[in-house]
Chain A
Amino acid sequence: GAGVSQSPRYKVAKRGQDVALRCDPISGHVSLFWYQQALGQGPEFLTYFQNEAQLDKSGLPSDRFFAERPEGSVSTLKIQRTQQEDSAVYLCASSLAPGQSSYNSPLHFGNGTRLTVT
């Protein structure tokens, strides 16, 4: 497939469990973003990678959230000791261009992982 792929599509976790969410970006895309979308709200930025380098993690809500992209392609968002307020859709997006020319390189989003913490 040519699009951004995210797995799993749905995840139910008990409070306190750790979860790992996977993102397969479009092949060759340099930039990768994670967003969090609460019910009824617009997506909110979490973190940004340029290749394997995490250049911005200012949106991560706490130190329980950790993201990596070790080889500059697949990325994993990990949430430790999940809490009910972590329930949301987690969206991954990629774009072809690196930062400086990104204004002409639209973001391609996956369909997200819906995380429910019980």
Chain B
Amino acid sequence: DAKTTQPPSMDCAEGRAANLPCNHSTISGNEYVYWYRQIHSQGPQYIIHGLKNNETNEMASLIITEDRKSSTLILPHATLRDTAVYYCIVSAGGTSYGKLTFGQGTILTVHP
């Protein structure tokens, strides 16, 4: 699976949009971009995933650049409960049967 690079930490004011970047310049054509987050003392929680088109669900939006070498996770209106470690993961899905390689992630702190 391709390697990802994320900033170690970011801050965001409550109510504002949180934009979390991820670089995955070696991504292959069959690899998906997944985002998970982990709130303290809990297991990781799935947020969203995509292949090449932008995706949106009730939690977040995922913007993938046209060359697919980077992506941005957007939390449109961050709340204090969004404080967590956010992991950007690239995986081929299919043949790797959902086996995920987590990196260090980005610690997002949402301030009042």
Contact = CB atoms under 8 A, between A and B. Distances in A.
A48 B96 CA distance: 10
B76 interface: no
Interface residues of B, number: 27
Contacts of B43: 4, 91, 93, 109-112
By secondary structure, the A interface counts as: mixed
B44 A109 contact: yes
A111 B41 contact: yes
Interface in B71-93: 85, 87, 91-93
Contacts of B15: none
Which has the most chain A C-beta neighbours within 10 Å: B87, B95, B100? B100
Given A91-B44, A107-B46, A109-B43, A44 B97 contact: no
Given A106-B46, A109-B43, A111-B42, A42 B105 contact: yes
Contacts of B68: none
Interface residues of A, number: 32
A104 B41 CA distance: 26
Nearest to A6: B43
A27 interface: no
A55 B92 CA distance: 17
A72 interface: no
26 contacts: A31-B97, A33-B98, A35-B102, A42-B87, A43-B44, A43-B102, A45-B101, A48-B98, A48-B99, A56-B99, A91-B43, A93-B44, A99-B98, A100-B94, A100-B95, A102-B93, A103-B91, A105-B98, A106-B34, A106-B46, A106-B49, A107-B100, A109-B43, A109-B44, A110-B43, A111-B42
